[in-house]
């Protein structure tokens, strides 16, 4: 079964069972500064898990784009990739364990509606219980009742069967489904044998149902949520792998054209290097598609590291220097009809990847020369940092070069220097990437509402062509990307600032209403989110009939309730181009 069919079968299956299908949110979280990328389907849906009403109702399903780079060292094995799609079905305080497990099992095994996987190859794990939550015998009994024999169900501790996306936020025990990849079939296994098979990747996880009913603060479970939720997550690449009867994700139809393209550029047999190039370029394409640009901080730095590492492995494979941009094209051919933004931005994405390769090549030779000199002995943090700051070597590249020469690198020393180098107020990219989901701080709420005012101001002053292309908020500033072809003049900037500040002093009401998407269109609400939430959407208004409505925008919230809550004066700090026809504003309330 090809990937396209698996994707559509999943959505069809859950649509039939009362779920509203919602599109993937961006890889770059909007209005959440605690993570650099969406790392799980849960990120964009946290407000609804916490009890806010979702316009699509209590059951939704989606395919969410995700990036996880903490597993970067494992890329090249059979099942890890830095970008992946997550199939998700969600219950926001609606169905719970019985239906969720039933749905998962039916989707995985049904030949007519699902993937038709072999039930005899399925193993299941459940939470064994601890001080936070009891042993999940209920899930085990449900599995048994639908046909998974008791001796294929294992109880494991929180390390395996408690799911969370960070130190803060919703979490809960989960039940995980594993699939046997061996030719012969593993048959009956004791718990020890099962754990051994897991460590050898003879069985791999293909999905989990998280029973999200708890909340963590600073790494500690602090209590139960208002409602019991279900978050099923199925790793799409892995599901393609088992459905297609292959034993690694790079052999699925998702990666095959990319691997074939790489083979056009090399005659060498280094399979791991090929997988790394394929993975990193695919991830880079999706990141750039969602507005990330290579840089030395935050998300841009993660992208830079991936691209530079890809260059290194392409060199190992003795590929031609412009081959990465050809691989880019193949990735877009594979995904562009599903993720239209990739097809639309094809030239821009190719240009970015090419430019980053050229940039790295300018310093690569001198960096390698320096490396040869210093790698007579082990490499100090200062030297690794010098390779980074003067020659653009991300730490991974230095580590890999050192490993090839049997030398070590003082990683802690590097990190210390690197941290100092990052702007003082910023958390380092690594740090933040591993961090959890924070709540929305007061300042973030203010910036969120300020973003709506800014959007309205740009429409009023520059014209109706101004379409939002991206937004990102931290407690320190807002960032807003929009369609506009020319640099804003100082007068225009001043007018926009004045517009926003005026609305702040006018103490305007901020409120929302849920309505059918058609009505939102009729009211000429700004449709930033397209039909992201299906039929029923939330529209935030600033102002009232009495004062005049200055902004009407489709948005999930949350916001302040009155513009007078915006503390300080709105100031545009920077206005610059991000790509052809797209401008970026960074602004503060100070």
Strands 153-156 and 122-127: parallel
Report the distance separating Cα 435 and Cα 206, nearest Å: 25
If the CB atoms of residues 211 and 371 are measured against ligand GLY, the closer one turns out to be 211
| Cα–Cα distance measured from residue 417 to residue 384, given in angstroms and rounded to the nearest whole number | 9
* Residues 6+ away with beta carbon under 8 Å from 208: 163, 174, 175, 176, 177, 232, 233
Task: Pick one of 11, 40, 240, 284: the residue that binds ligand GLY (CB under 6 A).
Answer: 40
Cα dist from 198 to 166, 178, 189, 204, 551, whole Å: 24, 9, 11, 6, 54
**Strand 477-483 relative to strand 582-589: parallel, antiparallel, unpaired?**
antiparallel
CB of 41 to ligand GLY, least distance (A): 5
Burial status of residue 146 (CB atoms within 10 A of its CB: 0-12, 13-18, 19 or more): middle
- Give the residue with the Cβ less far from ligand GLY, 38 or 323: 38
Helix (H, G, I), strand (E, B) or coil at 64: strand
Separation CA 82–CA 67 (nearest Å)? 5
Q: Which residue, 161 or 323, has its beta carbon nearer to ligand GLY?
A: 161
CB 492 within 8 A of CB 462: yes
Q: Whole-number minimum distance, CB 212 to ligand GLY, in Å? A: 9
Q: From the CB of 48, what's the least distance to ligand GLY, in Å?
A: 14
Residue 231 lies near ligand GLY (rule: CB under 6 A) = yes
Q: Please select the residue that binds ligand GLY; options are 28, 36, 49, 86, rule is CB under 6 A.
A: 86
Instruction: Please name which of 473, 447, 469, 474 lies closest in space to residue 571, comparing C-alpha atoms.
Output: 447
Query: Mask: binding to ligand GLY, 232-251, rule CB under 6 A, as x and -?
Result: -x------------------
Q: Which backbone phi and psi does 155 adopt, to 5 degrees? A: -95, 130
Which of 227/380 has CB closer to ligand GLY? 227
State which residue, 164 or 472, has the beta carbon closest to ligand GLY.
164
**CB-wise, 163 or 385, nearer to ligand GLY?**
163
Cβ closer to ligand GLY: 81 or 357? 81
Strand, helix or coil at 52?
coil
With respect to ligand GLY, which residue has the nearer C-beta, 48 or 385?
48
Q: Residue 230 or 572: which CB sits closer to ligand GLY?
A: 230
The continuous run of DSSP H or E covering 530 comes out as none
Size of site (CB under 6 A) for ligand GLY: 8
Q: Distance between CA 157 and CA 10 in Å, rounded?
A: 30
User: Shortest distance, CB of residue 152 to ligand GLY, whole angstroms?
Assistant: 21
Q: Closest approach of Cβ 238 to ligand GLY, in Å? A: 11
Residue 176 contacts ligand GLY per CB under 6 A = no
Q: How far is CA 498 from CA 281, 480, 488, 502, in A?
A: 43, 17, 15, 6
Cβ proximity to ligand GLY, 203 vs 496, nearer residue: 203
134-143 b/e (C-beta count within 10 Å ≥ 16 → b): eebebbbebb
Nearest distance from residue 198's CB to ligand GLY, in Å?
16
Q: Are strands 20-21 and 59-67 parallel, antiparallel or unpaired?
A: parallel
233 versus 556: smaller Cβ distance to ligand GLY: 233
CA distance 322 to 351: 11
DSSP-H helix ranges across 375-441? 381-391, 395-404, 411-421, 429-434
- Closer to ligand GLY at the Cβ: 231 or 290? 231
Q: CB–CB of 478/500 below 8 Å?
A: no
* Residue in 336, 332, 330 with CA at minimum distance from that of residue 261: 330
**Using an 8 Å Cβ cutoff, are 101 and 139 in contact?**
yes
Which pair of tokens denotes residue 133? 């939550």
> 62, 41 in Cβ contact below 8 A?
yes
- Name the E strands within 420-535: 468-474, 477-483, 510-516
Is residue 210 a contact residue for ligand GLY (CB under 6 A)? yes
- Tell which positions 144-163 bind ligand GLY, by CB under 6 A: 163
Binding of ligand GLY by 60 (CB under 6 A): no
| Nearest CB to ligand GLY, comparing residues 95 and 482 | 95
Q: From CA 537, how far away is CA 533, in angstroms rounded?
A: 6
208 binds ligand GLY (CB under 6 A): yes
Nearer residue to ligand GLY within complex by CB, 236 or 301: 236
As a whole number of angstroms, the distance between CA 180 and CA 199 comes to 12
**Burial (0-12, 13-18, 19+ Cβ within 10 Å), 312:** buried
- Closer of 231 and 575 to ligand GLY (Cβ): 231
Site for ligand GLY, rule CB under 6 A = 40-41, 86, 163, 208, 210, 231, 233
């Amino acid at each position: 079964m090809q990937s396209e069919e698996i994707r559509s079968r999943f959505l069809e299956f859950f649509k039939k069972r009362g779920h509203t299908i919602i599109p993937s949110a961006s890889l770059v979280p909007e209005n959440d500064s605690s993570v650099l990328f969406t790392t799980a389907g849960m990120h964009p849906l946290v407000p609804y898990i916490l009890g806010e009403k979702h316009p699509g109702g209590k059951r939704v399903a989606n395919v969410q784009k995700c990036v996880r780079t903490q597993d970067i060292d494992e890329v090249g094995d059979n099942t890890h990739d830095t970008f992946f799609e997550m199939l998700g079905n969600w219950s926001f305080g609606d169905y719970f364990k019985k239906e969720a497990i039933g749905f998962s099992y039916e989707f995985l095994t049904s030949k007519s509606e699902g993937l038709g996987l072999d039930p005899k190859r399925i193993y299941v794990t459940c939470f064994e219980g601890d001080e936070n939550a009891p042993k999940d015998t209920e899930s085990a009994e449900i599995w048994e009742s639908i046909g998974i024999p008791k001796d294929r169900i294992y109880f494991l501790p929180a390390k395996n069967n408690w799911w969370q996306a960070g130190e803060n936020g919703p979490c809960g025990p989960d039940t995980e489904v594993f699939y046997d990849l061996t030719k012969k079939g593993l048959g009956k296994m004791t718990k020890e044998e099962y754990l051994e098979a897991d460590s050898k990747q003879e069985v791999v996880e293909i999905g989990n149902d998280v029973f999200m009913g708890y909340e963590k603060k600073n790494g500690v479970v602090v209590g139960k949520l208002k409602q019991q939720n279900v978050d099923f997550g199925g790793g799409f690449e892995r599901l393609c792998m088992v459905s297609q009867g292959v034993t690694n994700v790079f052999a699925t139809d998702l990666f095959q054209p990319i691997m074939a393209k790489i083979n056009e550029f090399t005659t060498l047999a280094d399979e791991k290097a090929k997988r790394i190039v394929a993975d990193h370029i695919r991830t880079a394409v999706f990141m750039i598609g969602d507005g990330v640009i290579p840089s030395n901080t935050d998300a841009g730095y993660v992208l830079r590291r991936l691209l530079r590492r890809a260059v290194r492995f392409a060199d190992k494979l003795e590929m031609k220097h412009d081959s990465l941009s050809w691989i880019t094209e193949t990735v877009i051919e594979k995904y562009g009809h599903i993720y239209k933004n990739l097809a639309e931005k094809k030239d821009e994405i190719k240009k970015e990847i090419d430019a980053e390769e050229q940039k790295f090549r300018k310093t690569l030779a001198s960096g390698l020369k320096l490396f040869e000199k210093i790698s007579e002995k082990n490499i100090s943090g200062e030297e690794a940092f010098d390779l980074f700051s003067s020659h653009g070597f991300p730490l991974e590249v230095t580590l890999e070069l050192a490993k090839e020469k049997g030398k070590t690198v003082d990683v802690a020393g590097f990190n210390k220097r690197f941290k100092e180098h990052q702007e003082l107020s910023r958390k380092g990219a690594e740090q933040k990437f591993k961090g959890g989901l924070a709540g929305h701080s007061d300042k973030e709420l203010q910036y969120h509402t300020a973003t709506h005012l800014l959007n309205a101001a740009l429409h009023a002053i520059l014209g109706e062509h101004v379409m939002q292309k991206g937004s990102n908020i931290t407690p320190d500033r807002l960032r807003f990307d929009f369609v506009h072809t020319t640099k804003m003049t100082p007068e225009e900037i001043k007018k926009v600032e004045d517009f926003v500040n005026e609305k702040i002093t006018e103490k305007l009401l901020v409120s929302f209403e849920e309505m059918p998407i058609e009505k939102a269109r009729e009211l000429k609400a700004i449709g930033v989110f397209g039909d992201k939430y299906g039929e029923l959407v939330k529209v935030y208004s600033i102002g009232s009939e009495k004062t005049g409505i200055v902004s009407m925008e489709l948005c999930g919230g949350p916001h302040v309730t009155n513009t007078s809550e915006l503390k300080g004066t709105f100031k545009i700090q920077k206005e610059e181009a991000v790509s052809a026809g797209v401008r970026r504003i960074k602004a503060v309330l100070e």
